[in-house]
Chain A
Amino acid sequence: MSASGDLIEGDAPYIDPVRAAALHRRSLRSSVVATVSTVVFLIAVGFATVNAPGWASVRYWFFNGSAFRASVGSVASAFLLNVKIFLVAEVFILVLSLVVALIRVSTAPVLMPLRFVATVFTDVFRGTPTLLVVYLLGFGMPALQIKGLPNDPVIWGTIALVLSYTAYVAEVFRAGIRSIHPSQRAAARSLGLNVSQTMRFVVLPQAVRRIAPPLLNDFVSLQKDTALVSVLGPIEALRAAEIYSASKFNYTAIVVAALLFIAVTIPLARFTDWLSDRQERRDRGTAR
């Protein structure tokens, strides 16, 4: 049996050293230009802002050093609640949305009633503003006075976020699953894999890769929406900031809260970019 077609295998790659050096210089030049232009841009924006006629007042209201120091502690510790809600909600959202998506793409006749429920579920919760879901569950469920039902607003707020985001993320999953070409399914079935094995080993892994960027996008958004739980009473970062601002009549605490949200969002955003870049490179079929 021949193994032709691997003609250059075994040979070390040869790159002209002069050409390599020139390429290196060029990439160095590109990064220098990028860095310098970024710095110049930031300085220009900063300079324009600082020299705006109202800057002194804006600095007092939004970037007040003493208010910053005074509020950062209470806002940061309240932010732990946001993080906690986010982490718990995210796990449930991933699991439930996958279940909903799998039900919706299923074809088995016995699952018809479940498919109907799943469709209604996504329609309702995707169409309802998250804040309303938070209100409805947070104040409505405890009002039912059912024994054994939790009363804690954090729990209900988290459940509301889970329901709302599950509806979104389920649709993302479903789109991902549907984007996998039927030939992949045919190949798996032809090897004797059953429907669920085909889904688990062939379709889902590819779908998840494809939807990772939009999925992370939804999670960045979830991170911010944890603030909605505050309408039910618990003090999270934005509420803590609001309390501080209202008692001192100064908005700096809100900037503090914004910075905290940004601080956790940026790593997620860069990770999303990295995933999309990798996906694109892969789709173009170059390096992996």
Chain B
Amino acid sequence: MTALLHVNGVHKAFGTNPVLRGLEVSLEPHEVVALIGSSGSGKSTLLRCVNGLESIDAGKIMLGDVEVSALDADLDVVRRRVGIVFQAYNLFPHMSVLANVTLAPIRVLRHSRKQAEGAALELLARLGLAEKARQYPDQLSGGQQQRVAIARALAMQPELLLLDEVTSALDPELVGEVLDVIRDLKAGGMTILMATHEMAFAREVADRVCFLDRGRVLESGPPGEIFENPAEPRTREFLDRFLSG
């Protein structure tokens, strides 16, 4: 099996509310997969489960040949291999941009400060944030903050990047700068699993699109197929609603 990520029959409920119901999805290395689906369909929950922020009730999540969902899994190790970027950025407000990006390399990977800062500055420059290194999150625009959050995740050199609606909180004119970054990441060969409402973007960059419906992947396939000729009526319904709204 060559899959980098394999989510196998995962169930997850919050109390009496089943959110994931036997969900299946897998990613090959360098693959970009977009998760679409209406709000509440379980996209964020899936991403949080993959990175161990939520535990699952049944099924299996494999990262390479490591079982993330095992009860005795070392999640700290798993999380070093999987980066996640949140809709609300979740930057550390008491730290400068540079400190946000270097915190984990220094504390988790035990890189020297010098080494970590060098790498971070390079990364920030790549993301167009070179001048912002010494500033604090509340001095940045939303788009800049989200790019810092991406830089922070990339600084750990993850094998897999999870993006959870990273443009939903942004003003429309700031969305582009973040999408540019993701485009570049794909070009660089990064494996990405992203929940998104940017259908045009998903269509452009995703190798595969999965439509989530009530905790299951109802339908998945190449973007052209899903967007133009969905097999499931519910997918069609969702897309119609989305494209008209």
Contact = CB atoms under 8 A, between A and B. Distances in A.
Contact of B92 (A4, A9, A187): A187
Contact of B51 (A188, A190, A209, A282): A190
B62 interface: no
Contacts, number: 87
Interface stretch (A94-102, A192-200, A255-263): A192-200
Contacts of B133: none
A250 B123 CA distance: 73
A184 to B, nearest CB: 6
A192 B104 contact: yes
B227 interface: no
B131 A9 contact: yes
A201 B106 CA distance: 12
Contacts of B184: 1
Contacts of A9: 131
Interface string B69-80: 000000111011
B155 to A, nearest CB: 8
B103 interface: yes
A202 B107 CA distance: 12
B107 to A, nearest CB: 5
Given A1-B127, A5-B141, A202-B92, A183 B80 contact: no
B66 to A, nearest CB: 14
Contacts of A5: 141, 143-144, 173-174, 177
Interface in B101-123: 103-104, 107-108
B146 to A, nearest CB: 11
Interface in B57-87: 75-77, 79-80, 82-84, 86
A48 B90 CA distance: 57
Contacts of B141: 5
Nearest to B142: A5
Q: How large is the interface on A (under 10, 10 to 19, 20 to 34, 35 or more residues)?
A: 20 to 34
A184 B53 CA distance: 12
A187 B138 contact: no
B128 A3 contact: yes
B76 A201 contact: no
Nearest to A204: B94
B152 interface: yes
A193 B108 contact: yes
Nearest to A198: B107
A5 B177 CA distance: 8
Contact of B79 (A2, A190, A209, A288): A190
24 contacts: A1-B126, A1-B180, A1-B181, A4-B176, A5-B141, A5-B144, A5-B173, A6-B131, A186-B53, A187-B90, A190-B51, A191-B79, A191-B103, A191-B152, A192-B77, A192-B80, A193-B76, A197-B108, A201-B103, A201-B107, A202-B103, A205-B94, A282-B138, A288-B138
